[in-house]
Structure 1
Amino acid sequence: MKTLRLLAMGVALAACGGAAVGQNAPPAPAAPVTPAVAPAPAARPAGPPISPALGEGPWDVQTQTGPLHVTLVTKGLDHPWGLAFLPDGDMLVTERAGRLRIIRKGVLDPTPIAGVPDVLATGIGGLMDIALHPKFAKNRLIYLAYSKPGAQVRDRSTLAVVRARWDGGAALSDVKDIFIADAWYGEAPLPQRCCGQGPSSGSYGGRLAFDRKGYLYVTSGDRNYGEKVQDPSNHFGKILRLRDDGSVPPDNPFIGKPGYKPEIYTTGHRNPLGLTVHPVTGALWSSEFGPRGGDEVNEIKAGHNYGWIEVTQGAHYNGEPAKGVKGVAGMDDPVLTWAPSINPGNLLFYAGKTFPAWRGNMLMPTMTRSVVRETFDANGKPVAQELMLTELKQRFRDIRVGPDGFLYVLTDEKDGAVLRIEPGRK
C-alpha cells in the first residue's frame, strides 16, 4: 500500500468524560528541514517525563464510539514490555529489568519466574517481548526477546531470542538462544546522521509474532547504526523470519542471494516496536519509531525495503535532510506516519465481537499517553484517527485481546500496570 498521511497528534482526540482530566498538548514543531518536508518536530527528549500516579480506578472515559470502562488488573510491574495470555487466562509479563512475571487470576505473583537469561538492562535495552508457541498447550514453549550483553564488554550488546520451556512452575527449563542478531554495538560507532545515544541505549526492536503457518517474526532495530541498515549482510534495521527452532525457512525472500543474511524478511527499518498478524487477512504489520518525527505503521511484505535511513518522514538528528520522504523507487511508503512523534508501542487489528464498532480498526498504544484507534475504508485506506485513554496520562506499551474478549494494555511506568478495557454503559 502506497498511502502516506502526516497526522498531527491532535487531529482526532477522544471526547472527554467520566474521569477525564484533559489532553496533553503536542510539542511545537521546529523549522522545516527542506521545503519538500513537513515542519520537523522538536527533538525527542533524552528521557521520558514522569507520568502522574495512576490511582486505583476504575475509570469511565468517553470515545467517539461510546463510553469505555477501564479497570486495574494489577500494578507493581517495573516498566513492563510484553504481555502474553496463557490458555487458562493467566498472564505472563516481561519487565525490562530482566524479570518474567506471572499474574494468576488477576494477582501478581511477588516472585519472578527464574531462568531468564542474563539481560543488559540499560537505556532502552532489557527483556522485551514474549510470545507463546502456537502449540504451547502441548509443548509449553515460550520465546523471549532480549538485549544480550557482549562476552568481553557488556555494553557491546545485540538483540537475541531465547526459547524455553515453562511447565507453570517456579523456573524455566531447556533455555536456549535460538537467534543472536548480527547487530552488535561495536567499540567505535560509525559517523551517522541519526541518534548518537550511546552503545547500550540503542534501538533494539525486540517484538515477536507468529504467523498462521507457525513461522516466527522478529523485529531488529538499527542500534543507532542507521548507515548500516541498507547493508543486507547484517541484521541492523531488519524484520526477520525464522522457524520455531531458529533455523531459516527455505522460502525466505533472500535465500541464496549473495551478500544477504538468509533470515531477512524485510529491510529499511529504524526501530520497529510493534508487530502483529492481521486476524482476517493474515498480513503482517509493524509500527516503527522514527527520528525527529516520522513514526510509521507499515504493512510488511516479503523482500520489501521500507527506506530507512535514506527515506524518512521525519528529520535526522543532525539536521541533514533525507534523500526522500515518499515515492522513492524500490522503497515502500508507510501506510501511516506521524509528525510530531507519537512514540508507538505494539499494535493489533481488532476482529472481535465485544467492541463491534471497532471491527477492522487498528489499535496502537503510544508512549505519548494515548491509544490510537485508526479506521480504514473498504479498500484498506486509513480514513480517520482517534486518540483514546488520554485521561489516564500513562505511557502505554503493549495491547492484547484477552480470552474474555476484553482489551488489555500495559503501562510502561516504574509502577507499571495491566489495565482491562471493557465497553461502558451508554
Structure 2
Amino acid sequence: MIRKAMIACTAVLLFASGCATAQDAPAPQITPPPGPPPFQSAALGEGPWDYETAQASIHAEVLVRGLERPWGMVFLPEGGMLVTERVGRLRHIDAAGNLDPDPITGLPAMYTVGIAGLKGIALHPRFASNRLVYMAYSKIDPNDPSVSTLAVMRGRWEAGSHELTQVEDIFVANTWYGAMPLPERCCGQGPAFGSYGGRILFDADGYLFVSSGDRNWGERVQDPANQYGKIFRLNDDGSVPPGNPWVGREGHEPRTWSTGHRNPLGLTINPFTGELWESEFGPRGGDEVNRILRGGNYGWMSVTQGQHYNNEPAAGVRDVAGIIDPVLVFGPPSFNPGNLAFYAGEAFPDWNRDLLLASFTQGVLRYETDAMGSPVGEPEVLLRELGQRWRDVQVGPDGALYLLTDQVDGALVRVTPRG
C-alpha cells in the first residue's frame, strides 16, 4: 500500500527506444483493500509526486497534458509514441516529450457519442519497414448516422508526417446497433452505443487480437455466429488464420478466439508465458481479469459475478460446465478496470513478472504472480491519491510505467524509480 507522498521537482525526460515490452489456482474473489475514502475523480495536480511503496520508491511526473480522453498508446521504434483520443484524433509525441499540436489527419469519420470513438492502437510487427498503424474505432453506418459498430482500420504513417495514408478497414463487426426504436433488452441494460471493447494487439506470431463488447445486448453473446462479446484473432490483413478454433464449423464465426465477454477493455500478452490476458467491465460489480484460452467461453451474460442493472441477481456464478471462471473478480461495488500489463524491465527489478492493472476508481493495482503468471495475494494500490481514471498502463522501452488518464483534460504520466 502506498504509505506517504512528498512533492519533488524533476525535469521531464521522455523515453528512448529499446526492447523491453509490457507484457492454476482457484480464482480468488478480491475486493480492493478497505480504508481509502470513496473515490472522487479530480483534476490532476501539478506534480511531480514521490511515493514509498512496498518494494520501490517511485517518482511520478506528468509528461504531456492536453490530451482529450486518451485511450491507447504505442511506443515508436525511433522514440516517442502515438496516442489515440476517444474523440477521434491520433496524436504524436516526439522522443523529447513534445505533443505535436496538430493531430494526424486521414482517419475516417467515426461515431463519438458516449463511450464510442477511437480506441485501441497497435503497430504492425514489421512497423519499422512498413509503417503500418492499426486502430479500433466506432464505425458509422453510411445509411444511418445513429447506427455504429466496432471496426479496425490500418494505414501508413511516416515519421514527421501529419497524415495517415492508404487507410482501409480490415475488420468490420456485424454488431450494427443504435437505430430507434431499440429492441427490448434484458436486465436493465444500458444505452445502445455502449460496450464496444476495442483493445487490439499483435502477439509474437504476428496475429492481431481484437476485443469486441456486447453493445449492451448481452442476450446475443452466446450465439456463435455473431461478433458480440468476443475476442477475435486475425491475420494482419484481417483474414482468418486457419488455426482458429471454429474455422470450418457451420454457424460459427471463424475469426472468434474466445466468447462470453461483456466489455473487454484490456488486452496484454504475458511476456514470460506468452499467454493472452484480458480485463473486462462487468455490470454492477463482476469486473474481471481473465486468462484467455483458445476457444474459451467466459460466460456472459448468464454467468457473471455482478448484478444486472435492474438488480436482478446473476445465476450460476461459478463452476458452470463449459465456462471458464475469471482469475480475478472485483465488486460490487464496481472496480472499473482499464488496461493491464505484466512488468518486464530493469527500472523496477522487484516488480518483474508482476501484474499491473489500471482502474477508473482504485488507482493502479500491482499483483505479485506465481510461476504460471496468476496473481497471488492482495494487491498493492498505487497512485490512488491522484484521483485519476487510469485508462491505459504500459511498460515503456526504458522500463518506466506510462499511464493515460481518461479525462477531458487528459494526461500522459510516467513512473520511474525515485532518486
Same fold (TM over 0.5): yes
Of 260-269 and 148-157, deviating more is 148-157
Residues 83 and 130, structure 1, Cα contact 8 Å, conserved in 2: yes
Task: After TM superposition, give the deviation of residue 378 of structure 1 in Å.
Answer: 3.5
Mapping of residues 137-216 of structure 1, within 5 Å: 137-168=128-159, 169-187=161-179, 188-200=181-193, 202-216=194-208
Residues 45 and 386, structure 2, Cα contact 8 Å, conserved in 1: no
Distance 1:192 1:324 in 2: 20
1:36 maps to none
Task: After TM superposition, give the deviation of residue 297 of structure 1 in Å.
Answer: 0.3
3-state SS of 2:141 partner: coil
3-state SS of 2:219 partner: helix
Distance 2:387 2:338 in 1: 15
Distance 1:325 1:2 in 2: 17
The count of residues paired between Structure 1 and Structure 2 equals 391
1:71 to 61, 67, 89: 61
Mapping of residues 12-411 of structure 1, within 5 Å: 23-25=36-38, 51-104=41-94, 105-168=96-159, 169-187=161-179, 188-200=181-193, 202-339=194-331, 340-384=333-377, 385-411=379-405
Distance 1:115 1:381 in 2: 41
Distance 1:402 1:380 in 2: 20
Distance 1:141 1:380 in 2: 31
The one-character-per-residue Cα deviations of 1:108-136 (angstroms, maximum 9, x if unpaired) are 11100001111111110000011000110
Residues 130 and 143, structure 1, Cα contact 8 Å, conserved in 2: yes
Task: After TM superposition, give the deviation of residue 369 of structure 1 in Å.
Answer: 4.4
Residues 190 and 225, structure 1, Cα contact 8 Å, conserved in 2: no
Q: Aligned partner of 2:226: which letter?
A: N
Distance 1:84 1:353 in 2: 19
Distance 2:150 2:391 in 1: 19
Runs of 4+ with >6 A deviation: none
What value does the CA root-mean-square deviation take over the aligned residues?
Answer: 1.5
The one-character-per-residue Cα deviations of 1:66-124 (angstroms, maximum 9, x if unpaired) are 32101111100001000111012211000010000001120111100001111111110
Percent of residue pairs identical:
55
Distance 1:190 1:217 in 2: 30
Q: TM-score, normalised by structure 2?
A: 0.90
Of 56-65 and 229-238, deviating more is 56-65
3-state SS of 1:391 partner: helix
1:35 maps to none
The one-character-per-residue Cα deviations of 1:140-179 (angstroms, maximum 9, x if unpaired) are 0000100011122222110000010101201000000000
1:17 maps to none
3-state SS of 1:138 partner: helix
Q: Aligned partner of 1:309: which letter?
A: M
1:37 maps to none
Distance 2:99 2:171 in 1: 30
Distance 2:146 2:241 in 1: 31
Q: Aligned partner of 1:111: which letter?
A: D
Task: After TM superposition, give the deviation of residue 391 of structure 1 in Å.
Answer: 1.4
3-state SS of 2:144 partner: coil
Distance 1:312 1:189 in 2: 24
Cα 1:405–1:173, aligned 2, differ >3 Å: closer, same or farther?
A: same
1:413 maps to 407
Distance 1:307 1:334 in 2: 10
Distance 2:132 2:188 in 1: 36
Q: Aligned partner of 2:364: which letter?
A: V
Task: After TM superposition, give the deviation of residue 186 of structure 1 in Å.
Answer: 4.7
Cα 1:99–1:195, aligned 2, differ >3 Å: closer, same or farther?
A: farther
3-state SS of 2:129 partner: helix
Residues 3 and 336, structure 1, Cα contact 8 Å, conserved in 2: no
Q: Aligned partner of 1:124: which letter?
A: I
Task: After TM superposition, give the deviation of residue 192 of structure 1 in Å.
Answer: 2.9
Residues 355 and 368, structure 2, Cα contact 8 Å, conserved in 1: yes
Residues 218 and 301, structure 2, Cα contact 8 Å, conserved in 1: yes
Distance 1:193 1:10 in 2: 33
2:19 maps to none
Cα 1:379–1:102, aligned 2, differ >3 Å: closer, same or farther?
A: closer
Task: After TM superposition, give the deviation of residue 6 of structure 1 in Å.
Answer: 1.8
2:3 maps to none
Residues 155 and 199, structure 1, Cα contact 8 Å, conserved in 2: no
Q: Aligned partner of 1:132: which letter?
A: L
Residues 298 and 334, structure 1, Cα contact 8 Å, conserved in 2: yes
Q: Aligned partner of 1:25: which letter?
A: P
The one-character-per-residue Cα deviations of 1:396-423 (angstroms, maximum 9, x if unpaired) are 0011121222110001111100011001
1:9 maps to 32
Residues 344 and 395, structure 2, Cα contact 8 Å, conserved in 1: no
Distance 1:164 1:57 in 2: 36
The one-character-per-residue Cα deviations of 1:213-240 (angstroms, maximum 9, x if unpaired) are 0000000000000000000111000000
Distance 1:316 1:196 in 2: 7
